[in-house]
Structure 1
């Protein structure tokens, strides 16, 4: 794993990307400032639990970083974390955080369905909710609201990025595809985007299976894949579903081209080098070769004895973004933060080549993403570096919003 010589202490004092997270204020003013309370909700149990664990590590490191730099606009941050479990529980806990704990905002989540219920609660309280893991286009479309922002990229962005790879490999026009889709909001939405891409580019969908989120045995699906003999098997699965599929795919001895339209590196690590294969879209990964990314990798690894997963990146950066917003707006109220985050001055260092910004019309963070490709097992040297990473997408000469076009999920009306 690549590291830099920057120590964790230096990292905490300078920031992952040199962000100025505080505003100048006399010590006595800082002492009088009430703490900034951040609620963090994410699933730490169930099929998304492994991702939630990284999310919690990411936000905890962000808070440590922010407080080491003097706080958010001079306010020290207090963090309240809960396991969201499912959409109903997420809604109940969001209500409790705003009502009982008096949090100023909520950050987190992975399930698109839970993102929706949390955002509805946040809107009632006119407080910001920053989604760090929910991909559904509809959250940026018909289900959007004024107080919800998205650090995680949306499904259509992943589909467009991965689709460009498959087109370049000659695996779309006239080719047969078989999809496996998680049977909940995220999967349905991703499948809609995948179908739109295939329709627009001449791909044939010869198999389309909805998979319950608690499914662990994929043998019946694998038999259907073997019978269909597709050119590409594309996964619209999530969490431990992907890990289990990888392992059983190898056991069945199948060798059809494998890929997908949404991916988290924890699934690759859990499957292991002997089972992981294919090329996958990725919002960020620990191999991104720039100084800010590698400083973050070192700080995270020092703290947790393993490299950060992309979910940790998302929650970490969401914390830094909102600290920057509070400092710039001089206020943690929902309306003040919305006004700043929608403004042209709100740009964010994301450990990538180009700064990101929230698109005002739907609050999606517009940013570069990557594609990761599995290494052959005999080229793997450790349990973490089992893939290669692409250059940032879109390419340097293309507009940053290139991948955020032709989206599904309806029209956002903020």
Structure 2
């Protein structure tokens, strides 16, 4: 079932303005409109004149249930160039072309969509789509940073097939991803990959020119064709780390093990299943990386034998089968031991206290065993952290430093990790 946009305290449906700029990806906005509408939002579509050359007004009107206008001279008596943005709970623009980003950054108001952006007092979400050269051009990058500095949420574009035979970064994020980001903003949650500027200035791109590898999710160790040994990791923190690294300018490889949340746009994803597959992928991708962050929950053990047929219950006895386990490779320790000079290795520790020590005591011991540069310690007692949007962590440094972060959204935790990584890269 699709998630829905909750009504406000007065019981009315959230009012969303869907802006559509003039790019070939405009056809995908029809799917986004349907998702928003079926999720409970009252959606008004504001296309540019160019967008109407790709998808006509009847389509937008039929799907939204509202008349469509693109010019400030339409229905002048209702003052749409002021009212549309001022009355909205959220403004989403998909696709946001390079031209639209430039006009929004300059504060132009030469059509109904840019006038709406200029008068909106609600959250604004832009989903860029353009050719790679346009997205990477310094003018576009400056416009994106300027918009983020004003608190606008700008998603990172996807990587893949573009117009014609071209491929690369610049693809419109899938409608489901934009819809998820829109719901997050309507619910007051942070948006992975598209946060507003960090306090004190424009979006920091201190990882520009850096290459980082992030692992996320939880490995599954097969027992038979049906069953496996696994863990409760959702992959949320690793996805937030990948998204924030991309937003800060890094080239990001995400080694993903059974994520419960979508991978962020603008990163390269390598899917893996079990611990040995994850180890092989991370070791292959670490070459040339400035940092490797092991946020994935890697199983310590796997079944000694994997049967080719499903294990059956024996009707003649109540006995359960005995599963022998063997240890998996210690990927984090291997990475730390063989790290090339200057490469920063970060580990994660999901810990609980016991009679031998509290969470931090176990974390410090693990840091010493693993030999990594930084260990992010989570207290997971009582099911805390797993699947949640916020967490509290302690960053333990091999240099003896300790810093508590949170409770905070996982995007802010990710920023704190990258701040610490950046400090260590700077020392190199």
Q: Which has the higher helix share?
A: 1
Q: Do they superpose with TM above 0.5?
A: no
Could you say which structure has the higher strand fraction?
2
Larger Rg: 2
Q: TM-score, with normalisation over the residues of structure 1?
A: 0.34
Q: Determine which structure has greater relative contact order: mean sequence separation of CA pairs < 8 Å that are 6+ residues apart, divided by chain length.
A: 1
